[in-house]
Chain A
């Protein structure tokens, strides 16, 4: 017991020195990372500033059913159900989305279900999609796993 108590104080002293050195290392390391962060931050901010107002998409949310005609010059995200005619620059049919009718767009991404007549330039059909209809396209990409049937015509 006494041996331990005698030896322990100098040991602790060594430990303190070692700890101090470690602290010094840690401090210098943290300073350098802070400096790096400081130099990177403005770059990130500039990037944010150089991407002004990306066109906000129009969204048909899940559980929402729309019947009629939709016309848009921008982006349309469909997570709900649409029956009717859709014309937009870019259309995304989400996994929960359903479209029944006529669809015209430049870019079309289908992750959900689609039935009807489609006219588009760039078509991408996701792995869980169900598509049935007559489709005219310029560029097509069908991912493995999707269920697709109907008439396909390349423009």
Chain B
């Protein structure tokens, strides 16, 4: 899907270390290391991916590591290999069995 149209997408390959703050209009797929804030419409942290810093987006899918706050306005999925440390703000959450969650969990719209 992403390969077909890469307009507005960020791909960080395995072994790549990226430092800074990133605004991505569409998909951010992280297989390497990102140090800094990351904002994207859709964030995929692959199994080898690590993010040190705040991440925020509509839908976030974590198979790797997120080491600071995570904020998702639509859906957040922590896969079985995923590891999240820090505070989480979500509107819809799913954690697969084996997923690692260490921190505070907040629902953005608790009464919906």
Report whether A145 and B101 are in contact in the complex, using a CB–CB cutoff of 8 Å: no
Stretch at the interface among B18-26, B48-56, B87-95: B87-95
Q: What is the interface of chain B mostly: helix, strand, loop, or mixed?
A: strand
Closest chain A CB from B75 CB (angstroms) = 8
Report whether B99 and A140 are in contact in the complex, using a CB–CB cutoff of 8 Å: yes
Report whether B106 and A149 are in contact in the complex, using a CB–CB cutoff of 8 Å: yes
Residues of B within 8 A of A154 (CB): 100-102
Report whether B93 and A153 are in contact in the complex, using a CB–CB cutoff of 8 Å: no
Query: By the criterion of a CB under 8 Å from any partner CB, how many residues of chain A are at the interface?
Result: 17
What's the A-B contact tally at a CB cutoff of 8 Å? 45
Report if B3 contacts A (CB, 8 A). Answer: no
Report whether A152 and B93 are in contact in the complex, using a CB–CB cutoff of 8 Å: no
Report if A144 contacts B (CB, 8 A). Answer: yes
With contacts A142-B93, A152-B103, A152-B105 taken as known, whether A147 is within 8 angstroms of B98 at the C-beta atoms is no
Report if B15 contacts A (CB, 8 A). Answer: no
Residues of A within 8 A of B93 (CB): 142, 144, 146, 148
Q: What is the interface of chain A mostly: helix, strand, loop, or mixed?
A: strand
Q: Which of B31-53 contact A (CB under 8 A)?
A: none
Docked CA distance A123–B93 (Å): 15
Q: Which of A73-119 contact B (CB under 8 A)?
A: none
Q: Which of B1-15 contact A (CB under 8 A)?
A: none
- 23 A-B residue pairs with CB within 8 Å: A139-B97, A139-B98, A140-B97, A141-B95, A141-B96, A141-B97, A142-B93, A142-B94, A142-B95, A144-B92, A144-B93, A144-B94, A147-B110, A149-B106, A149-B107, A150-B104, A150-B105, A151-B103, A151-B104, A152-B101, A152-B102, A152-B105, A154-B102
